Structure 1
Amino acid sequence: MRERARRAQALLDRIGDSGPRRATLLNALGVAAVAEGRHAEAVRLHREAFERLRFAGGPPLESIRTLQSLANALEALGRHDEALARFGEAQRLGAEHLGPRHPQRARVAHDLGVLLLGSGEPGRARELLEAALAIWTDTYGSVCVECGRAHSSLMGQASAEGELGRAEHHARRALAIYRQVLPGDHPDLAAALVNLGAVLHWRGDFAGAVPAYGEALRLQERILPEGHLHRAITESNLGESLVALQRHAEALQRFAAAEPVARAAGQPGEELLLLVLRNKAKALQGTGEVGAARVALEQARALLKRDPGRAQELAEVEQALAQLPVRAG
């Protein structure tokens, strides 16, 4: 990605102020900036690209793609209202210049659906995500990367509405598609396995969740460096399902792998650390290590006390502490 960005910058320096061509390269630089987490820089680049396209009367399709990229970068910065406005512009341009089943309109609908899902509007999100899936199915067939992405997003949408049967359907469909169209070491394949494991856990099928998480973890161990937060999250998820199966010693091995990664991550790892500590305490109780379970719960309590908005979770931890036998582990 950095090499592509370097080449795009070199071309940008060479071609001068040509509107559409410069906009294309600005967009390439914006994509590279997003990949490196530089979302503010991506916003600047995509915004400049769109202004150049608008001034030069550039191709509508390129303008729509630029607005979509700009909206996604704005949302990554938490600028929700601005992102919605840019998606709205992209939708209007699509309605004016593209056919009703054009795949670019599906891309805009999908990304807007994901944004709405993240902002607590699963009903509106479902309509957009299902529309995107229908267009992609008509355009590329039902087995394509785009359809896999739509099924993954619909899994999240169904979960948000508590429809876990529908969520499992979409999770399984996404995984089946990715197994056919992606390389065996692709990150999206690992994510699809994690999604399936999560849905099965939520449905109480802990025995089904364990192999899904296990396969995801083996894949992540091949493609992600040691100490990566995503690996630690999967370790924690697997541990939680093992606790539910009362396989406490195995669960503790998973928590032992996840906990130092969560601590080293600082603030981004705090949510994971809290989950690890609470589930680790359950596993320790299962192995009779009551004193160690108390320590884990006390650490979880200290984390929760920092946030006044988590009073319910704090009360649950306090109750778990009160229920521990008063004896050494």
Structure 2
Amino acid sequence: MGEYNQAMTFYTHALHEKENYYSYNHVDIAKDLNHLGIICKRQGEYEHSMKYFSKALEIFEKYLPSEHHDIATTLMNIADVHDEQGKKKEALHYLMQALNIQRKAFPNGHLEMALCLNNIAAIYATTGELEKSLEHSQLSLDLKRIYLRSDHHDIAIGLANHGNILKQQDKNDEAFEYYMKALPIYEKNFPDGHPDSANLMYNIGSIYHAKGEYENALNYYEKARTIQARHFPSGHPNLALTLSCVAQVYQSKSELSIATECYKECINILE
């Protein structure tokens, strides 16, 4: 929180300095308004965040060409606020506007476009429109592969996200292929683990569990638990969720005493 307050102070001061130097509607002022909006969003101050983003958008649209990437970026920021507030329809509306601008501004693609496509895919996944989600996820992943090295962690994120959508469609074998492509990239970039790699381990474990390959399932669930214990506080619900899956595996193996102990530990975590 202290870092956010320092950043807020810095950009507020910069904004006041520029207001004294430029007319209020200068594009440099809009850039500082965007920074302030991002800080407010990360602190959960959505009303203030939207105010800053909306003013930035107004300035950009007045003084920049309609296909300028700063307009697209601001539209994506507004979409993020709506998304975090659960307003998926509104978020998608702004993301589609941003994507249309990016396609004109970057006819050969761009990493910002990959991010926009990924966010669109995430919203479609949330609303259950999985074919649209898969389409936009693939487009995002294709762009990342053009502009990033093959072992970049954003490639792993894209692979894992694509796998998640396939898993939602009950295409576990296809999802598994994407997860296993993502796994060595995560392990290379985060040798001590990362919350995202814990999610990946969990999902791999769940596919093994569904296939009845219990030892493999336990192996990956335990890997997920180890990483989660390193990165989450002791009462975090993800710890309980993974442990409950461990309990279910032991229950499936008819090792009921171990399953019972795991379930008891789950309750202790959540209390």
Q: Which moved more, 1:237-246 or 1:37-46?
A: 37-46
AA at the equivalent of 1:63: I
Aligned partner of 1:149 among 157, 162, 167: 157
Aligned partner of 1:246 among 233, 245, 254: 254
AA at the equivalent of 1:214: E
With over 3 angstroms needed to count, the CA separation of the structure-2 counterparts of 1:210 and 1:26, relative to structure 1, is: farther
With over 3 angstroms needed to count, the CA separation of the structure-2 counterparts of 1:31 and 1:145, relative to structure 1, is: farther
Give the 5 Å matches for 1:1-329. 2-16=2-16, 17=19, 19-57=26-64, 60-262=68-270, 264=271
AA at the equivalent of 1:55: K
AA at the equivalent of 1:14: A
TM-score normalised to the size of structure 2? 0.86
**Larger Rg computed on CA atoms:** 1
SS across alignment from 1:177: helix
- Give the deviation of 1:241 after TM superposition: 2.0
- Give the deviation of 1:80 after TM superposition: 1.8
With over 3 angstroms needed to count, the CA separation of the structure-2 counterparts of 1:255 and 1:33, relative to structure 1, is: farther
Q: Which moved more, 1:9-18 or 1:218-227?
A: 9-18
- Give the deviation of 1:122 after TM superposition: 0.7
TM-score normalised to the size of structure 1? 0.72
Question: What is the CA–CA distance in structure 2 between the aligned matches of 1:257 and 1:99, rounded to whole Å?
Answer: 54
SS across alignment from 1:54: helix
Question: What is the CA–CA distance in structure 2 between the aligned matches of 1:52 and 1:124, rounded to whole Å?
Answer: 33
AA at the equivalent of 2:57: F
Q: Deviations over 1:31-72 (max 9, x none)?
A: 444444444544444333323322342892232222223212
Question: What is the CA–CA distance in structure 2 between the aligned matches of 1:205 and 1:42, rounded to whole Å?
Answer: 48
* Contact 2:176–2:207 (CA under 8 A) maintained in structure 1: yes
SS across alignment from 1:21: helix
SS across alignment from 1:226: coil
Q: Deviations over 1:251-273 (max 9, x none)?
A: 222222222444x4xxxxxxxxx
Question: What is the CA–CA distance in structure 2 between the aligned matches of 1:34 and 1:247, rounded to whole Å?
Answer: 47
Q: Which moved more, 1:234-243 or 1:44-53?
A: 44-53
Question: What is the CA–CA distance in structure 1 between the aligned matches of 2:48 and 2:187, rounded to whole Å?
Answer: 35
SS across alignment from 2:234: coil
* Contact 1:129–1:154 (CA under 8 A) maintained in structure 2: yes
Question: What is the CA–CA distance in structure 2 between the aligned matches of 1:68 and 1:30, rounded to whole Å?
Answer: 12
* Contact 2:11–2:36 (CA under 8 A) maintained in structure 1: no
